[in-house]
Amino acid sequence: MASTELRNGSRHGLTGKASILDGNSFRAENAPALTARTDSLVQRRRRVLGPAYRLFYRNPVEVVRGRGSRVWDADGVEYLDLYNNVPSVGHAHPAVVAAVQRQMSLLNTHTRYLHEAILRYADDLLTTFAGPIDQVMFVCTGSEANDLALRVGRAYTGGQAYIATSEAYHGNTALVSAHSPALSDCEPMDPALRVVDPPDTYRYGSSDAAGAAFLASVRAAIDDIESSGDRLAGLILDTSFSSDGIYPGRPGMIRAAVELVRGRGGVVIADEVQPGFARTGESFWGYQRHGLDPDIVTTGKPMGNGFPIAAVAARSEVLAPFAGTRPYFNTFGGNPVAIAAAQAVLDVIRDDELQSHALATGESLRAGLRELAGTHPAIGDVRGVGLYTGVELVPDGTSREPATGLALDVIEELRARRVLTSVCGPANNVLKLRPPLPFAAADIPQLIEALDGALTASGA
Query: pLDDT at residue 4 above 90?
Result: no
Residue 217 and residue 83 share a domain: no
Domain containing 444 equals 4-92+353-457
151-160, 323-332, 370-379, 408-417, range with the lowest pLDDT: 323-332
Q: Which H helix or E strand runs over 145?
A: helix 142-157
Q: Determine the pLDDT at residue 19.
A: 60
Examine the domain organization and report whether 62 and 198 are in the same domain: no
Q: 12-60 pLDDT, tens per residue?
A: 233 344 466 677 888 888 888 999 999 999 999 999 999 888 899 999 9
Assign residue 99 the CATH number of its domain: 3.40.640.10
CA distance 14 to 401: 8
Instruction: Give CA–CA dist 340/166, Å, rounded.
Output: 36
CA distance 208 to 128: 28
Are residues 209 and 301 both part of a single domain? yes
Task: Tell me what pLDDT residue 447 has.
Answer: 98
pLDDT digits (tens, 9 = 90+) for 128-153: 998 899 999 999 999 999 999 999 99
Residues 277 and 240 in one domain: yes
Total structural domains within the chain: 2
| Strands 389-393 and 379-384, bridge-based pairing | antiparallel
Tell me how far apart the alpha carbons of residues 364 and 34 are, in angstroms, rounded to a whole number.
37
Residues 230-256: what's their mean pLDDT? 97
**Is the domain of 318 the same as that of 347?**
yes
DSSP string, 326-376: -----TTTT-HHHHHHHHHHHHHHHHTTHHHHHHHHHHHHHHHHHHHHTT-
Q: Are residues 100 and 86 in the same domain?
A: no
- Give the end of a domain, one of 312, 329, 351: 351
Identify whether residues 242 and 177 lie together within a single domain. Answer: yes
pLDDT at residue 13, rounded to an integer: 30
State residue 11's pLDDT score.
29
Residues 293 and 311 in one domain: yes
Residue 261 CA to residue 219 CA, distance in Å, equals: 8
Asked if residue 441 and residue 302 are part of one domain, the reply reads no
362 and 342 inside one domain: no
Here the CATH number for the domain that contains residue 380 is: 3.90.1150.10
pLDDT for residue 20: 67
pLDDT at position 303: 98
- Which of 18-27, 231-240, 289-298 has the least mean pLDDT? 18-27
Q: Do 269 and 386 reside in the same domain of the chain?
A: no
Mean pLDDT of the chain: 94
Q: 162 with 271, same domain?
A: yes
